[in-house]
Copies of this chain bind each other. A is one copy, B any other.
């Protein structure tokens, strides 16, 4: 039942109802869909659209939104580099738990640094971490500016804003890239469809 950890007095508890049993109950496979991209690139909109599409197929998903987590689990964290890293590490750990619970966990965070995203990827078997890059031009995101944050950043009222005075490191080997085609942005249902097709093809939508 329990094995001694190599660190302190912590044991690992095994339970007879595990990930396979939960996946079978849900008729799906647990995984993490990690949406990364600039502020205003449409991550949250895509996450919502994806959860709707999955729900319409009877699949259970849960969205972890970077902003929302900062009201709860991560409310002790600010925006210093080490806090941003910890913010993403904790989100990755929670996403891993949701995938273990059998859910399709949709994480939606700017997560600008490659290193931080790689840490989250390394928490899971590689095929269970599906990185989705919202590859939208900065100009488009800034023109949208749904939260008015680019304006504040340009006015110097926010420091260290991704894309303005802090870098965004695009993924090198993401599973899915969402981008404009001929200068036209796909609609949210089209983007969600792209991800659902991937999940279907890889067998995540059945046990």
Selected contact of A12 from candidates B45, B71, B94, B123, CB within 8 Å:
B71
A141 within 8 A of B: no
Contacts of A4 in B (CB 8 A): 147
A52 CB to nearest B CB, Å = 5
Asked if A10 contacts B67 (CB within 8 A), the reply is yes
Chain B residue, CB-CB nearest to A86: B76
Selected contact of A55 from candidates B21, B55, B62, B108, CB within 8 Å:
B21
Asked if A13 contacts B67 (CB within 8 A), the reply is yes
A12-B146 CB under 8 A given contacts A48-B17, A55-B25, A93-B73: no
Query: In the docked arrangement, what's the CA distance between A69 and B21, Å?
Result: 21
A54-69 CB contact bits vs B (8 Å, 1 = yes)?
0100101111110110
Of residues 1 through 30 on chain A, the ones whose CB sits less than 8 Å from some CB of chain B are: 1-2, 4-5, 8-13, 15-17, 21-22, 25-26
Query: In the docked arrangement, what's the CA distance between A21 and B152, Å?
Result: 37
Selected contact of A47 from candidates B10, B15, B62, B101, CB within 8 Å:
B15
Contacts of A101 in B (CB 8 A): 60, 62, 98, 101, 103
A26 CB to nearest B CB, Å = 7
A147 CB to nearest B CB, Å = 6
Query: In the docked arrangement, what's the CA distance between A57 and B52, Å?
Result: 27
Interchain residue pairs with CB less than 8 A apart (8) = A9-B147, A13-B48, A17-B52, A25-B58, A26-B60, A72-B96, A72-B123, A101-B101
